[in-house]
């Protein structure tokens, strides 16, 4: 019985460490990009890996969107007539 209790404590400690590490990583990355760091940090404490997967998908989507907008403004500078 003692071995089971010790393994249970190690499991809970591992889960806590995993959630804390995920939360800290999300917070620091979001803060460096200026994207609601406290939201991501707190959500990262709640479960695993949903916040991490969601954050990565949104970051990829926003990066692609910004790249597309930058490409669009490079191709069509303001003041230039567009054929339509």
Distance of alpha carbon 83 from alpha carbon 28, whole angstroms: 45
The Cβ of residue 8 has, within 10 Å, a number of other Cβ atoms equal to: 10
pLDDT at 49: 94
Burial status of residue 74 (CB atoms within 10 A of its CB: 0-12, 13-18, 19 or more): exposed
Contact 44, 25 (CB under 8 A): yes
- Crossing angle for the helix pair 37-44 and 50-75, nearest 10 degrees? 150
pLDDT digits (tens, 9 = 90+) for 19-35: 999 999 999 999 999 88
- DSSP for residue 77: -
pLDDT digits (tens, 9 = 90+) for 32-63: 998 899 999 999 999 999 999 999 999 999 99
């Amino acid at each position: 019985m003692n071995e089971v209790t010790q393994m249970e404590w190690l499991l809970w400690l591992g889960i806590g460490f995993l959630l804390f590490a995920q939360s800290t990583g999300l917070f620091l990355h979001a803060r460096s990009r200026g994207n609601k760091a406290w939201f991501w940090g707190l959500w990262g404490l709640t479960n695993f890996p949903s916040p991490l997967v969601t954050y990565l998908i949104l970051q990829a989507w926003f990066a692609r969107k910004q790249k597309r907008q930058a490409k669009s403004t490079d191709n069509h500078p303001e003041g230039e007539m567009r054929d339509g």
